[in-house]
Structure 1
Amino acid sequence: MTQKVSLLITQLREKEALLAEKESRIKELERQIKKNSQNSSKPPSSDGVRKPAPKSLRTPSGKKPGGQPGHKGDTLLAVETPDTVVNLPVTRCSCGEDLSLLPVTEHERRQVFDLPLPRLEVTEYCLDNVCCPACQKVIVAPAPPDVTAPTQYGLRFLSYLAYLHQDQGIPLGRVCQISSDLFGAVVSEGTILQACQRLDQQLATFVDHTRELLKISPVVHVDETSLRVDGRNAWCHVASTPRLTLLALHEKRGREGIDALGVAPHVTGTLVSDFWGAYLSLSPKHAFCNAHILRELKAISEFDRHRWASEMASFLLDLKEKTASRTSPASEVERQEILGRF
């Protein structure tokens, strides 16, 4: 009888252990199913048709929208030398008295900041032709380096079109429409692409210099995202600081693409990234992106119901807000207070 009871107890413990293992596995599978781009490092493209509604990771501050009490606003300041001055004379008083011949006591200034009428300015270069009396050869005056055709668009205008397309992300067709609507200039998409390619060539030295500055920056952020280029999948790799940004396209997401950008493996400071393993071995000093940390904390709070996760998220967001509003570094006392709260 005692032997049978012992056997049953052993079997019960084995069943309990197996049940605990299954429950743990079920919980892990449920966790994976519920993961999305807001509570994990998964990209938004993986959310599928049941994409969650966008929700900010910031917690409500309780403040009303708009400028806060004590906030120093930005006021449009008058300039001392306006481009145009329009004098508005006083001719008659409201009582009917003629004031047109009386001296002006003072002027009240009101300035309007506006765009000039959009139009292209045409500059004609007249190249002198002179016949040499010694050899009878006709010598033509040299034109400026950028003037190579009888008619052409200038560098400022082409740079503006390239800026709209590259920096503002406006499609080629709409840039053509802007050119026609604002300036009356009918340009082709090919003209804009040629301007972009020319600008790319002229920026080659600047890009190399930016890459070298990023390598020696104290903190460098790196990331990558997928996109379509000419109908094929590609990866846009980025390395950045608050003042510098370097982008590069590559067909590979991993180490080959990272090396092509030429920054992350050579960073001497702290490398900041998401949790993707390809970045973890690139720098002896590494930090994780706080946006991704907040997502993981949200997942822990939602799935595991740990209170400390939401408290840590609030701490990080509060620290970010205080850091953004500071004009000077924190004192040692403040640092110790922050560490104590942490």
Structure 2
Amino acid sequence: MTSPPDLPTADKDALIAALMARNEALMAEVTRLSALAAEVTRLAARVAELEAKLGLPPKTPGNSSAPPSKGQKPSGSSKPKAKSKPHDGAHWPLHPNPTTKRDVLATACSCCGTDVCGVAQVVCEAYDRVEIPKVEPDVTRVSLFGGVCPCCAKRFKATPPAGLEPGSPFGPNLRAFVIYLRSVQGIPLARLRDVMRDLFGLDISEGALVNILAASATPFKSAVAAIKARLLAGTTIASDETGLRVGKAN
């Protein structure tokens, strides 16, 4: 190793100053490279994390703690969509057995107004108009005739026809409909009275509705007993824990 040259004091001071400046520059470069190495390490970890998430489903309010607002669909483009190719629209299918049919023949040409009543015509368009008929009570007035027997001089009266015996004026179909609306659809009595008046034009009191429901208790009990007997006669019984409100008991 050679010894450093003997320099004047002024030159030595300049050389020391230059070396110190060079040292500070090198230290700054080392600091910068250390920061870059740390950033590279952080980015590598982030890349590994993102690659691990590539196979996972996106986070939504349904599968994560993301707020509901994150699940809203982004607004679409305000530009109008291009018109698609026109296609036949959906039509009400024609009923296979219509109640009535109405054939309408043209009487005049829609272009020139010529009378076409005598011209052979074919069906150009067919469609159905569905409507419910007017519903009103079907009231049957039963008059039982009678008189005085010429033989025994006693009074006689005709026998009521089957199904039209005296008593309640309400027939079995009306009774069944009331029971269905009250028991299955759960319509209260006051509203059920309004339903019968508004839909059928039948003014019936809540008391009459109560009597109809009460009169059905005995036949239903017989049906329930028969069903219960058939269930108990089986080898297995399926049970359900779902409760049902009957009267005032669960």
TM-score by structure 2 length? 0.53
Q: Is 2:94–2:127's contact at 8 Å kept on the other side of the alignment?
A: no
Alignment partner of 1:142 is 2:154: no
Unaligned stretches of 5+ residues in structure 1:
1-74, 236-342
Percent of counterpart pairs with the same letter? 25
* Counterpart among 157, 173, 176 of residue 159 in structure 1: 176
Counterpart amino acid of residue 205 in structure 1: S
Distance 2:225 2:243 in 1: 22
Distance 1:219 1:76 in 2: 44
Q: Which structure has more strand as a fraction of its residues?
A: 1
How far off its partner does 1:111 sit? 2.9
* SS of residue paired to 1:164: helix
Q: Is 1:214–1:220's contact at 8 Å kept on the other side of the alignment?
A: no
User: In the alignment, which residue of structure 1 is the partner of 2:240?
Assistant: 222
Q: 1:83 to 1:93 in 2, by over 3 A?
A: same
User: In the alignment, which residue of structure 2 is the partner of 1:94?
Assistant: 110
User: In the alignment, which residue of structure 2 is the partner of 1:193?
Assistant: 210
Q: 1:124 to 1:151 in 2, by over 3 A?
A: farther
Q: 1:147 to 1:228 in 2, by over 3 A?
A: closer
Counterpart amino acid of residue 119 in structure 1: E
* SS of residue paired to 2:135: coil
User: In the alignment, which residue of structure 2 is the partner of 1:234?
Assistant: 249
TM-score by structure 1 length? 0.40
Q: How many equivalent residue pairs?
A: 157
Q: 1:104 to 1:173 in 2, by over 3 A?
A: same
Q: 1:151 to 1:222 in 2, by over 3 A?
A: closer
How far off its partner does 1:191 sit? 1.0
User: In the alignment, which residue of structure 1 is the partner of 2:194?
Assistant: 177
User: In the alignment, which residue of structure 2 is the partner of 1:306?
Assistant: none
1:298-337 equivalences under 5 Å are none
Q: Is 1:128–1:140's contact at 8 Å kept on the other side of the alignment?
A: yes
Alignment partner of 1:210 is 2:227: yes
Q: Based on CA coordinates, which of the two structures has the bigger radius of gyration? A: 2
How far off its partner does 1:113 sit? 3.7
Q: Is 1:129–1:139's contact at 8 Å kept on the other side of the alignment?
A: yes
* SS of residue paired to 2:178: helix
Q: 1:114 to 1:186 in 2, by over 3 A?
A: same
**Root-mean-square deviation (CA), in Å?**
2.9
Q: Is 2:178–2:209's contact at 8 Å kept on the other side of the alignment?
A: yes
What do residues 132-171 of structure 1 show as CA deviations (whole Å, max 9, x unaligned)?
A: 2111122211113543448823221222122111111111
1:112-127 equivalences under 5 Å are 112-127=129-144
How far off its partner does 1:93 sit? 2.5
Unaligned stretches of 5+ residues in structure 2:
1-91
Q: Is 2:160–2:166's contact at 8 Å kept on the other side of the alignment?
A: no
Counterpart amino acid of residue 161 in structure 2: P
Q: Is 2:181–2:192's contact at 8 Å kept on the other side of the alignment?
A: yes
Of 197-206 and 157-166, deviating more is: 197-206
RCO higher in structure (CA 8 A, sep ≥6): 1
Distance 2:124 2:223 in 1: 49
Q: 1:130 to 1:98 in 2, by over 3 A?
A: same
Counterpart amino acid of residue 156 in structure 1: N
What do residues 113-133 of structure 1 show as CA deviations (whole Å, max 9, x unaligned)?
A: 432111111212232214321
Distance 1:172 1:192 in 2: 7
Counterpart amino acid of residue 215 in structure 2: R
Q: Is 2:94–2:128's contact at 8 Å kept on the other side of the alignment?
A: no
Distance 1:220 1:169 in 2: 26
Q: Is 2:108–2:116's contact at 8 Å kept on the other side of the alignment?
A: yes
Distance 1:207 1:101 in 2: 68
> Which structure 1 residue ranges, 4+ long, deviate > 6 Å from structure 2?
none
